[in-house]
Amino acid sequence: MDRQEIKEQIDTWLREENKEKDWEIKQEKMNEYYYSCTLTKIIDQIIEGEIQKTEAGLCTICIDKDIERVILFTIIKFSKSDSTNYKLSLEKTEFWFDLRLQLIPLGVGINPIPDIDNIEKIQLTKIIYFDGWSRDRFMNDILIMMDATEIVEILFKKFSNYMHDKISKD
């Protein structure tokens, strides 16, 4: 199977699987990839005490130019205050360890940006090589990426609440 066939399958499968219009497919041009698109969703988010509709990136899908593989990734950004609280925490190593333990069974790679001590973003990655390519694998891996994103957000919220309570008691 070649890159063009994989691209056509990605486009077809995403359209077919999106009967409820849960996500929108946005074509993107990333020079380092043969093809890329991002799944986005409109969500309700509380901003300055008000509920507002915002666009959330669910997963970016890329076909590598050099290696026969499809890369799924998402980047989770933290607010400046969350990032600062994380940097000041003595428990950040424990948080990172717990997070990795939750994601390893899902087969999701995790990368702190810029590094583990100064996290501003977390990148999650899943790779499907062409020789393992199927609709089942592709769609399940997209759902796994969405679940992994939720796990990161839940664990970070739990960590953040713990840190807030700890600071309040001191």
pLDDT tens for each residue of 105-142? 999 999 999 998 888 899 999 999 999 999 999 999 99
Domain count, the chain: 1
Range(s) of the domain holding residue 138: 3-169
What pTM was estimated for this model as a whole?
A: 0.85
What is the CATH number for 126? 3.30.1460.10
The whole-angstrom separation of Cα 115 and Cα 93 is 12
Q: Please, are residues 156 and 78 in contact by the beta-carbon 8 Å criterion? A: yes
Task: Provide the pLDDT for residue 47.
Answer: 67
* pLDDT tens, residue by residue, 75-104: 998 878 777 778 878 788 888 999 999 999
* Mean pLDDT of the region 50-59: 74
DSSP assignment letter at 130? G
